[in-house]
Structure formats: C-alpha cells, structure tokens
Amino acid sequence: MKKLAYLIILLSQFIVAAWAQQAFVVRNIEIEGLQRVSSATVESYLPIKRGQTLQPAKTAAILRALYQTGFFDRITLSRANGTLIIHVVERPTIGQLKISGNSIIPTDKLTSVMKSLDVAEGRVYNPVILDKIKQSLLNQYYQLGRYNARVDINTTPMPRNRVMVNINISEGLVAKIRRISIIGNHAFDEKTLINQMTLTTVGLFTFVTQTDRYSEAKLDESLEKLRAFYMDHGYIRFEVKSAQAEVTPDRKSVYINIVVKEGEPYTVKSYDIEGKMVVPREDMMKLVHVKPGETFSRQKVLDTEKDITKLLGDHGYMFASISLRPQVDESTHEVALVFVINPGKRTYVRHITFSDNNRTNDVVLRREMQQWEAAPASTTKLEESKHRLNLLPYLKEVDMSVTPVEGVDDQVDVNYKVKEESSAQASFKIGYSQLYRTILGVGFNQKNVFGTGNTFGINLSRSRYEQFYSVDYTNPYYTADGISRSFNLTMSRVDPRGAGVGSGYTANEYGFGVLYGIPVGQEIGVINRIQAGLGYQNTLINLNQDLSKTSSQVATFVNRHGRHFQELDMKLGYTRDSRDKALFPTRGGLQTLFLDGYAPLDSNSLSFYTINYHGKWYAPLTDEFILTSRADLGYGNSLHGARNYPFFKNYYAGGIDSVRGYQGYTLGPRDSNDNPYGGNMLVDASIGLIFPNYLTENLRTSAFVDAGNVYTSLNNRGFGGKSTDAGPIRYSIGLEADWITPFGPIQFSLAKPLNRQKGKGGNRGDQEEVFQFALGANF
C-alpha cells in the first residue's frame, strides 16, 4: 500500500511538472473539494505557508504530507498566478459500524480495540486499517484453534459521503486433536507423557472435559507441564526442541508433533543454606524438601523456597528473597543445591486500613484482624485476617494490598479493600420439593444490623409437612474476646402425613433458646467454637379423630405419658469450620457435634437426650475435580429406656438430603399401620466427585454413592400389625446438580437404589424415586 501511495505521488509530480518548473511566491492558498475537513486543518499540515516561495522540488512534499493525514483519496495541485490551488477528494466517514456473528470475542471488546485504531462511527474510513483488523482477528481465532473462522468486511455507500461498514464473523468450530506424537523420549513412554499434558486426543469423555480442543495457549500449558514432569524426575537438561500443530485441509483436525531432548537424570549430592541467618538455621533446614541421594525435583525446590519465604515473612521479613545456586557435576550427574537467603530489613505494620466499606463499621472489620499495628508484619497473620473477612456473610470479596511507607524502609501500610453485598434481605419464597410439595415462605434477614455485624431475622414458611415461624438474633462479638450470643424463638406445627409419614398425629411445638459460641483452639484457616446454651420446649400432640389411623406405637406412648410435654433443653456442642468459602467450597470441611439433654419441667414431661454429628469435607484432586464426602450420625434415647423416648424426635432417612434414590422419609422401621415410623439411631454417609460442567460457575455437578438407614432400639414386635425392623444399610448411586438461580438454589439428583428391599408378609417394601429435586434447597 505504501508503494501505491508513492506511485500516486510520483504520478502527481508528472502532472504538476508543467506548471511547477519555475518557483513562485505563494500569495494565496485555495483548497477545493472539502466537505468535513476545514481549510485551517489542511493548511496546518502543509509544509508551505503564504508568502513563502514554492520550489519545484517541494510539490512532492505537499502531496506526501496531505496523503499521510489519511483524510483524502485523491489530491491534485495547480496554480493561478500567485495562488496555489489544492483540489482534494475526501475519504468517506464511517456512518454506521455493525459487527455480527461473534460470541467468543465480546462485541464491546472488539469495538474498544477498533476505536483505539480510529475505526468507529464518525471516523474516516480507512480500508488499510480494516484489512489489518481482519487479519488480526483471524490470527486471534487461529490461536484459539478455530482454523475455519472467517471474517468478511463489506461496505455500503450512505448519503453525505458516508459508508456503512459490516464486519461479519463466522467463528467456526474448534479444531479437534486427532493425534499427539512425541519424538525423542526414552525414559518415559508416550502415553505417560501425554497423560501429563492438558491437551488430549478425542476420547469418550472429552465432550465434557473439552481437552481435545486445540489452542496455542493450551499447547503452551501442556509443554510447560511436560517440562515440569521431567524436571521433577531429575532431567534438569530437558528441552522441547520443537512443537508443531499441523492442520488438516478441512481445518477441522490438528496433529501435534513434539520433539524433545531428555538428557540424563540428576541426583541431589548435597544441600546447604547460606546468607544472613535472621531465624535459626536449623528451623530453615527442616523446611528443605530435597535430600541427598534423591532424584532432583524442581517442585521440591520450589516448595522449599516457598516455605522458607513464608517462615521469614512470619518473622517480619516480608520482602525476603531466596535464590538457588546449583552446582552441577556433569560427569557424575549430581547437583549440589545452595539456597542463598537475603532477608532484607525486618518490616513493621504502621497502619491497617479498610476501604469501600460503606455500610460496615471499621470496628467490625478490625476485630477480625490477627495482625496488630506496630507489630512485626506476619504473612500468615495478614492472610488469616483476609480469610476471616472472607467468611463474613456480608462481604463478597476482599483484596489485600501491602504498601511500603514512603521514606521509611522498615514499615508498611496494609489495606483491605472489601466489596460488600446487600446485608438486608427481604425474601418471598416459593419452593417445591417432592417430599414437602409446595413450600411458601416470607422473611426479613439483616446480616449486618446498622453496620454492627449483628444478625437479625424473621422467617415464616409453610408446607404440607410443616408450618414454621422463627425470630433470630445473633451478636458474633458479644464479648471483645469473640464469644457470640444467639437468641431464637420458634413456633411450628408438624403434620407427618405431609411427608408420607402417616402415624395419625400432629405436633405443635413452641421453643425459646439462647446459645453462646466460645472460640477455642486457634488454628490457621480454621474456626473452632464450643457451643453452649439453654432452651425451653413446649410440645402438644394431637391424635387423629379416627383412632384406627393412629399407630399402636403412638397410641401406647400417649396413653403412658400424655400429650403435653415441657422440657428444658441443655445444649453443648462443638463446631469446626475449615472451608475456604461458604458457598461451593473447594477445600476444607465443616463439622458439628451437638449433645442436647432434655430435662422435664413438670411431672408429665420427659427426660431424654440426643447426640448429633454432621460432617462434610472437600478435597481437591486436580484444578477441576474435587472429592467430597459427608457423614451424619444421630442417636437419641430416654434416661428410662427406649420405650420412653419420644416418637416425635425420631430420625428418618431417604430422600434428596439423605440416601437419594429412595423416597423421602421411607427408610427404617415401620409402625403397626405399615407407615414409616423412624427410629432413634441414624447412620447416613456419602462420597462424591465434583466435576466441571463448563456451563456456568453457578452450577455444580457431581457423581455420588450414598449409604444409610435408620434403626431403633425399641422392640417393635410388641405392637403387632405390620411392624418390621430396619433391614440392612441401603445404597444408591447417581448424579447431582446444584444450581444457584435468581429465584433461589435448586437441587437435582438422578439416583438408582442398589439394594432396594422388597416387602415381606404383605408389608410394603422400599419406595424407589429415581429423580428428585428441591427448589429452595440448602446446599
């Protein structure tokens, strides 16, 4: 294009040669053909001014200067006596710019890039720049593995010397990897090496993992993993000589060829630590992960540097640097490792500040700080402070920045920039589950009352199984030491028939309680609390008017103890939370253990106890796969034998929150009417694998195996009818999807019972329910 411009200028020189053979004084300058560009703008680019003498050689400079502006398609020069006449044909402007067909690269990003290149509505149309944009776009899609992408740029004339520019993009499909060949490997076979890579060939599950889709970024990542694999096995001279991706003629498939040079494996001859010892040398030596005689591993070296840096950071040396000085013996293939320590100056924290907390008081955030001002900076304490802020329910995000104090070399300022979410929530809930059918609810919950961090909530819900009303108030820092205090008031009416447990009764219950949480056992990344409290419980049992529908177990209990019970609930518990976050955790776990002892408050009331344990854990296997497990154990009994344990406190199993694939509440013992009766012992567990879904971060998918059942220490034989025992542990296998929607969380499961028990002697067996879901589920 530059050559064409020079040819135009050269041709113009010939055209003006007839009148430009003699110099003349420019008395006036006239510019003809302007529509949008002003005369003053054009004259500002001219290398000649009024009153100056125009030499013949300077005409080319005039043409060159005006063409370089990009405003004009054609320029000619002429003279009339002392007047220089410049005739121009302006380039059209972009009247309208349309981009269509793109989804991988967002339109706003494309528009922003083109605007920076002066391609936008109202700007001068320049086909050269548009051609460059076209090629750049194609290169971008090629890097993403979309080799059959197309970019077509069409222009349509518009009135007033404008054009409409249409950029039509066909992104095409990502090329699939048909073969990966590795040449030069001797120590490891090709299959082992390919397993280390991010990219794979087309396989049975690659439609989910999408690892068979080629891109340059994924190839680079795979090569880096290949290098890491060799370096971790001692091959410190390993090289990737070349890596090429060959595209098939139809541009739908890619063949990858990688050539490597392995070299020889090296072992660690010795290791040492040198430099300034600001912490005991033996403490640092304990953190060295490589040992003499072992095969060299780069990962162990990196782990060593990371752990020593963290140790120095915990002692205030936040800007310490560690360099590795390897001494390689090529003849024996051994390497001596020397870690050189440069701790720098010890650093102290001058100020800790918070920003963007518009609704939360500073004191609420400051009380979560584990790092003190004026104390030596500690990397661990600063990170733990950030972790504790992340666990606050009214903060979405927390970013920490450490800034050296200007003019001082041993002080830093720390700022925690928080992103708050709305702490006041008025909710209107419409849920549905196969167990409880329609669930209606309304509530108001304030997680940060007046910016104090205290919680207040009023919630009401109604379903076929239960009507529930509650008022809760929690002060997480009732004392300066972090002891929390919670009050709760509850009222409920339970009709077991709503969940298919038709034992012929309803239960009205009222309760009030206070619970204290005492932090204990400070650990990094873990919150431990002992829970202790008291509660009052008032229960009234109403029997069905048709006594034939009331089971013998319920009738016998009511005849012995009556229908009205008042107890004092004495609570003692322990919670341990090591999750990295509350919603969709990726590591850590949550465990709770509670003992409830119920003491009678009148002569007709009951004395009994329950022990409940709940645990759920997450362990990442890779960046995308997480192993999860769950366990629920429960036991209840009366101080005067199982016959005196209240039936309305029984445990149940089966359903979406228990052993999936079995109808909710149907496992375990049955009453004299062959209805699920529950029991005083619960065993429930699950193990699952969370796998990526590539759809949305608001969806979590997993495969699971469930096991569980309910048992009773009550001798059911004495009640006659169709009473049975619980039978063996039930198992199921299936898939689960947890989806966070604007209307609330939804939980789906597709499960198959593995050992469903059939009924005997006219009794109903286990009820299978393969598909289960709940709108408004808690996960």
Nearest alpha-carbon partner for 672 in 763, 553, 541: 553
Instruction: State the pLDDT confidence band at 6, using cuts at 50, 70 and 90.
Output: very low
Q: How far is CA 597 from CA 61, 470, 600, in A?
A: 99, 22, 10
CATH 3.10.20.310 assigned to domain 93-170? The reply is yes
Helix (H) or strand (E) holding 257: strand 253-261
Residue-wise pLDDT for 267-288, tens only, equals 999 999 999 999 999 999 999 9
- Residue type at position 178: R
Residue 775 has pLDDT above 70, yes or no: no
| 73: Cα separation from own chain's centroid | 53
Residue-wise pLDDT for 117-173, tens only, equals 778 887 788 888 888 888 888 888 888 888 888 888 888 888 888 888 898 988 888
Residue 19 has pLDDT above 50, yes or no: no
Instruction: State the pLDDT confidence band at 17, using cuts at 50, 70 and 90.
Output: very low
- Residue type at position 517: G
Residue 593 has pLDDT above 80, yes or no: yes
Residue 649 has pLDDT above 60, yes or no: yes
Structure-token pair, residue 604:
């007709």
Of 133-147, 370-384, 423-437, 518-532, highest mean pLDDT: 370-384
Residue-wise pLDDT for 536-588, tens only, equals 999 999 887 777 778 888 888 888 899 999 999 999 999 999 988 777 889 99
Residue 112 has pLDDT above 90, yes or no: no
Helix (H) or strand (E) holding 566: strand 564-577
pLDDT at 720: 64
**Which carries the bigger pLDDT value, residue 250 or residue 627?**
627
Residue 415 has pLDDT above 50, yes or no: yes
How much of the chain exceeds pLDDT 90, in percent? 43
Structure-token pair, residue 227:
């290098």
Residue 36 has pLDDT above 80, yes or no: no
Which letter does DSSP use for residue 295 in this model? B
Determine the 3-state secondary structure of 451 from DSSP. helix
Residue-wise pLDDT for 59-102, tens only, equals 888 888 888 887 887 888 888 888 888 998 888 888 888 888 88
In whole angstroms, give the CA distance from residue 604 to residue 364: 47
Q: Which segments of the chain belong to CATH 2.40.160.50?
A: 461-775
- DSSP letters, 730-776, are EEEEEEEEEEEETTEEEEEEEEEESSPPPP-TT---PPB--EEEEET
Residue-wise pLDDT for 324-370, tens only, equals 999 999 999 999 999 999 999 999 999 999 999 988 899 999 998 99
Tell me how crowded residue 248 is: count the other CB atoms within 10 A of its CB: 13
User: Which residue(s) pair with 589 in the sheet?
Assistant: 617
227 CB-near residues (< 8 Å, 6+ apart): 238, 240
**Comparing 84-93, 204-213, 477-486, which segment has the lowest mean pLDDT?**
204-213
180 CB-near residues (< 8 Å, 6+ apart): 194, 197, 199, 200, 201, 256, 258
**Which carries the bigger pLDDT value, residue 740 or residue 429?**
740
Paired sense of beta strands 83-90 and 72-80, if any: antiparallel
For the structural domain made of 267-342, what CATH number should be given?
3.10.20.310
Q: Which fold has domain 176-261?
A: Ubiquitin-like (UB roll) (3.10.20)
In whole angstroms, give the CA distance from residue 506 to residue 487: 26
pLDDT at 79: 85
Instruction: State the pLDDT confidence band at 439, using cuts at 50, 70 and 90.
Output: low
Tell me how crowded residue 665 is: count the other CB atoms within 10 A of its CB: 23
Residue 468 has pLDDT above 50, yes or no: yes
Class of domain 348-406+415-420: alpha beta
Question: What is the phi/psi pair of residue 363, to 5°?
Answer: -65, -30
Nearest alpha-carbon partner for 416 in 394, 442, 388: 388
Of 30-44, 677-691, 731-745, highest mean pLDDT: 677-691
Average per-residue pLDDT in the chain? 86
Paired sense of beta strands 28-32 and 83-90, if any: parallel
Tell me how crowded residue 626 is: count the other CB atoms within 10 A of its CB: 21
In whole angstroms, give the CA distance from residue 167 to residue 184: 46
Question: What is the phi/psi pair of residue 208, to 5°?
Answer: -95, -50
Residue-wise pLDDT for 668-704, tens only, equals 888 888 888 889 999 999 999 999 887 788 889 999 9
CATH 2.40.50.140 assigned to domain 2-90? The reply is no
Instruction: State the pLDDT confidence band at 393, using cuts at 50, 70 and 90.
Output: confident
Q: What is the mean pLDDT of residues 228-241?
A: 94
**Comparing 30-39, 585-594, 726-735, which segment has the lowest mean pLDDT?**
30-39
Residue 18 has pLDDT above 50, yes or no: no
Rg of the Cα trace of the chain?
A: 38
pLDDT at 501: 62
Residue 430 has pLDDT above 60, yes or no: no
**Comparing 16-25, 331-340, 767-776, which segment has the lowest mean pLDDT?**
16-25
Helix (H) or strand (E) holding 5: helix 2-16
Residue-wise pLDDT for 190-200, tens only, equals 999 999 998 88
Q: Which segments of the chain belong to CATH 3.10.20.310?
A: 2-90, 93-170, 176-261, 267-342, 348-406+415-420
Residue 2 has pLDDT above 50, yes or no: no
Q: What is the pTM of this model?
A: 0.64
| 287: Cα separation from own chain's centroid | 31
CATH of 461-775, one of 3.40.50.2300, 2.40.160.50, 3.20.10.10, 1.20.1050.10: 2.40.160.50
Instruction: State the pLDDT confidence band at 14, using cuts at 50, 70 and 90.
Output: very low
Nearest alpha-carbon partner for 616 in 632, 626, 629: 629
pLDDT at 15: 45
Structure-token pair, residue 375:
């104390």
Residue 21 has pLDDT above 60, yes or no: no
What value, to the nearest 5°, has the Cα angle with vertex 112 and ends 106 and 115? 140
Which residue reads 């790092």 in tokens?
371
pLDDT at 739: 86
